[in-house]
C-alpha cells in the first residue's frame, strides 16, 4: 500500500554545509537543532549562524566527559578519532552568555 505524501510548508531540511565558514549560512528556519555540534565550530561561529535568520528555537547540547576523551565510549569511538583535533572545550556559562546575546 502506497501512502500519498502531502506537500506542506512545514519541512525538515537536511543541508550539507561547512558551517565553520560563516559565508555558508543556514536556511530560514523556525528551529535549529545543533546538539553535540558546537564543540566542532566554536561558540562564536555557532551563535553567528542563527543570528542571521533569527529562528524561534535553537537547541544546543554540549557533552562533558571529564578526564576522558570527548567521544563517548562505544563501538564507534575509534572511527571518530580523527575528529578529536577539531574539538573545542565549551564552557556552559560562556555558551549561555553567548546565546543570550543573540536573543
DSSP 42-59: -HHHHHHHHHTT--SEEE
* pTM given for the model: 0.65
Q: pLDDT by residue (tens digit) across 46-94?
A: 888 888 878 888 888 887 766 666 667 778 778 877 777 777 888 889 9
Cβ partners under 8 Å of residue 31, min gap 6: 55, 56, 57, 58, 59
C-alpha–C-alpha distance, residues 91 and 77, integer Å:
23
Q: Length of the chain, please?
A: 103
Lookup: cell for 34: 545543533
Q: pLDDT by residue (tens digit) across 72-84?
A: 777 877 887 777 7
Using CA atoms, how far residue 49 sits from 6, 8, 37, 57, 71, in Å, is 31, 25, 13, 13, 25
Amino acid at each position: 500500500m502506497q501512502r500519498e505524501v502531502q506537500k506542506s510548508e512545514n519541512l525538515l531540511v537536511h543541508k550539507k554545509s561547512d558551517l565553520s565558514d560563516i559565508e555558508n549560512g543556514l536556511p530560514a528556519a523556525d528551529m535549529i537543532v545543533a546538539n553535540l555540534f558546537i564543540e566542532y565550530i566554536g561558540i562564536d561561529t555557532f551563535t553567528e549562524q542563527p543570528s542571521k535568520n533569527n529562528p524561534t528555537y535553537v537547541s544546543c547540547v554540549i557533552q562533558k566527559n571529564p578526564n576522558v576523551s570527548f567521544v563517548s565510549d562505544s563501538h564507534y569511538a575509534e572511527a571518530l578519532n580523527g575528529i578529536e583535533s577539531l574539538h573545542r572545550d565549551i564552557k556552559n556559562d560562556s555558551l549561555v552568555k553567548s546565546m543570550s546575546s543573540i536573543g
